Amino acid sequence: MATNIRRPDAETRRAMLRSMLRVRMVEEEIVERYGEQEMRCPTHITIGQEAPPVGVSAHLRQSDYVFSAHRSHGHYLAKNADLPAMIAELYGKATGCALGKGGSQHLVDLDAGFMGSAPILASTISVGVGVAWAAKRRGEDRVVVIYFGDGATEEGAFHEAINFAGVNRLPVVFVCENNLYSVHTPLEIRQPNRAIHHLATVHGMEGEGGDGNDVEDVWRIAGDAVERARADGGPSLIEFATYRWKEHCGPLEDVHLGYRDQAEFDSWVEKCPIVNYERRLTDEGVVDTAAVADMRTGIADEIEAAFSFAKESPFPEPDALARFVYPEPRAGAAE
């Protein structure tokens, strides 16, 4: 067991800063290029919400599994899933992580343990629970992390799934990124005045809420939850307060729509998870300006390469249309 579980070491802190920067810079590049109309699929930008996936993933092994929903880029990238394959998927290319069939809403990378994402609210939550159940039944040493938004917790499927996880003490960490809105609808008119993580108790699991713009708060809370799951201590529901900067779906700003006001928006930009963390690590001497600049250059090169790969990749051939409706017999399978 790690000795200083409550506090990340310097190397982890640098890695978390870099990972958040990487998610941010990938998203910024998508925002920059979306208007070229070559990424032709609904795309939910996660700028502002980088801390939860990074703080959670810091505790995960490659063999642990992650499920996500529509706003999945951060979850995918923080789990070390394949960046070029993700960008190619957004471009609808044959080299995409789902061969172009899924787009931004259906990322997958089994090698990295990113088990899938789907935009029907709460839908992957129960599937993730089933995967955790299978892992437990087979005695596998595996933790399953399931990400979702505040809106998804209003679906019956969410409650049914976490109830089952609670009954069976499954090795799951339910991670709710509460960004206050479901599309344009504020939380107050959708849920009673109680914290979402308080639902944990009634479904028989631990629950904790934290600052979703402070990656170390996330790291601490997620660390407890992942460790609990790994030690067969049952599931947890953890909730992080955070905020989406872009429009619900697409690359644009949307404060002008009027459902959230400029003052609220500005106050969250003040709480930028990356700017503040960079400042803190700089102040504490964990990184310096040159080190951060190096990070940026390295990430920019990686992103440039990923976009070039995506743009140069071929589109799927016409015969791909009818493939995979039903599985073909497995190679070597007995008759």
Size of site (CB under 6 A) for ligand TPP: 16
* Burial (0-12, 13-18, 19+ Cβ within 10 Å), 159: middle
Among 169, 174, 150, smallest CA distance to 225 is for 174
User: Which is closer to ligand TPP, CB of 114 or CB of 147?
Assistant: 147
Q: Name residues contacting ligand TPP, limited to 94-133 (CB under 6 A).
A: 119-121
Half-sphere exposure of residue 46: CA atoms within 13 angstroms, side-chain side: 35
Residue 149 in contact with Mg ion, rule: CB under 5 A:
yes
Q: How far is the CB of 304 from Mg ion (least distance, A)?
A: 31
> C-alpha distances in angstroms, 48 versus 21, 231, 264?
11, 32, 13
Q: Which H helix or E strand runs over 70?
A: none
Q: From another protein, ligand TPP, Mg ion, none, which one binds at residue 258 (CB under 5 to 8 Å depending on kind)?
A: another protein
189 binds ligand TPP (CB under 6 A): no
Taking CB within 5 to 8 Å according to partner kind, which of ligand TPP, another protein, Mg ion, none is near residue 40?
another protein
Binding mask 138-177 for ligand TPP (x = CB under 6 A): ----------xxxxx-------------------------
The item of Mg ion, another protein, ligand TPP, none sharing an interface with residue 321, based on CB under 5 to 8 Å by kind, is: another protein
DSSP reduced 3-state for 144: strand
Rounded CA separation 286/131 (Å): 38
**Residue 15 contacts which entry, Mg ion, another protein, ligand TPP, none (Cβ below 5-8 A, type-dependent):** none
Determine if 48 is a binding residue for Mg ion (CB under 5 A). no
Examine residue 181 and tell whether it contacts ligand TPP (CB under 6 A): yes
Considering only 153, 179, 242, 313, the residue that binds Mg ion (CB under 5 A) is: 179
Q: Give the contacts of 137 (CB within 8 A, at least 6 positions apart).
A: none
Residue 295 to residue 262: CA distance in whole angstroms: 31
Give, in degrees to the nearest 5, the angle at Cα 74 between 88 and 122. Answer: 100
Applying CB under 5 A, the residues found at the interface with Mg ion are: 149-150, 179
Contact footprint for ligand TPP (CB under 6 A): 70-71, 119-121, 148-152, 179, 181-183, 244, 248
